[in-house]
Amino acid sequence: MKQSYFTISKTSTIRDAFICINKNKLGIVFITNHQNQVIGCATDGDIRAKLLEGIKLDDSINLCCNDAFVYVNENTERELIIKKFDSSIKAIPLLNENLELIKLFTPQDFPINKENQIIARAKSPVRISFGGGGSDLTHYFYENDGAVINATISLYSHATLQKRVDDKIIIFSSDLGSSFKANNLKDAIGKKSPFGLILSMLELINPDFGFELHLRSDYPMNSGLGGSAVILSAVIGCFNEFRIDKWSKYEIAEMAYQSERVMYNISGGWQDQYATVFGGINLIEFKKESNIINSLRIDKEILLELKENLILCDTCSTHNSSGIHDDQKKELINKKEINDLVKLNVDLTYAIRDSLIKGNLPKLGKQLDQGWKNKKRYSKKISNEKLDKIYNTAITNGALGGKLLGAGGGGFFLFYCDPSKRLNVVKKLIDLKTEIVEFNFETEGLISWKVRKK
């Protein structure tokens, strides 16, 4: 835009205005004062009307100035500008805060917004499990088929990823109450920090750009809810938003497993990764050849009743799931009776599936109790005096059954209890310095999306 074609001083003549209009071919000229502020406009029609009234070509253009002109600023919404063009306006000046002309918009020269910087976000839910834990360990289902049933609930890990213009890597974690900084990916991988699990995932993904990553979760660490897989899933989901060829759900779950179990060497099973990525209530079957996720279709009324009958209890004690899994692995290798117990819980998993689908929930409560009794015998590290006291208190006061979520040693208990006895059970659990956490079932798994940086 050549500004001299569109603006003239208020001291200029009508003849000067016609010269500008002939050059810009828009039939309009904008009039400025001594401070270069746009104070009005004059159209070809306005000027001709004044000439018919008797003014001369050498008179001041200020005689034709229309100070009720349309203009916009940098904060004007694009939609509003388009509406003005739709009202037969041929040119709209963009003025700064001092009313100086920045540029002129026309219907043919009104560019779309430039591409803004993109921020990727993701959230992924934790899971509660009903049965089959231990059978999702590779060394078990390589010899014997495994199966678990779990459900995602409304507690999440959240991740936000923003690209940088340099190679620096910056990570903030509300869960750890800590941050991490490195000059580049190579520098990051070589550093020892509390972010080792995240760094193992970054080594696998190998991003070719610097970034800032913000992490937070709705639940405590080492809770037995599959949290490490959940946070990895959320982070991978963010990186997936910057890909053209996006990873599938199965690929994301496998990447989370590889990062945690293979590269970072944390012992554990496969169910957490599949549960958080796929979401919903699933029967997950583990075989040497493949792992299959079977979504369970359960009537809404059954789910509502199930939710009313479940109590999620935080024991307020953490656990070392990797150490428990290592101990269980030794027991599985050395003792046939432990393998037999896991097999019993796999068979029980299919019975739990039937109870869920048919809505026989009291039976489900008793099945949870049987599954927990079996699981306690996997390893001496799964339960302890405090956990036994919490469980026995719940059962004594009305719960039909329950189980400790995750590997064991601490974290959350899930109890099944008739609503008429819930108040008494909850009171007795709180007396033991535990916390009751409300939740809803979550049908969605990993969700990721992009937003413009404002």
Catalytic residues: 272
Three-state SS across 232-268? Answer: HHHHHHHHHCCCCCCCCHHHHHHHHHHHHHHHCCCCC
**Coil, strand or helix: which one is 314?**
strand
Picking from 40, 41, 38, 42, the residue whose alpha carbon sits closest to that of residue 97 is 38
Give me the count of residues in the chain: 454
Adjacency order of strands within the sheet including 399-404: 399-404, 412-417, 310-314, 435-436
**Coil, strand or helix: which one is 102?**
strand
Picking from 200, 177, 128, the residue whose alpha carbon sits closest to that of residue 414 is 128
Whose tokens are 């020269």? That residue is 109
**Coil, strand or helix: which one is 180?**
strand
Cα–Cα distances (Å) from 314 to 52, 381, 412, in that order, read 88, 18, 4
Distance CA 260, CA 247 (A): 18
Report residue 261 as tokens. Answer: 């179990």
Whose tokens are 């117990």? That residue is 341
Do 321 and 409 form a contact (C-beta atoms < 8 A)? yes
Cα 143 to the center of its chain, rounded Å: 37
Distance CA 232, CA 427 (A): 36
Report residue 108 as tokens. Answer: 């043919």
Distance CA 329, CA 316 (A): 26
Cα–Cα distances (Å) from 364 to 130, 322, 432, in that order, read 9, 29, 25
Distance CA 55, CA 53 (A): 6
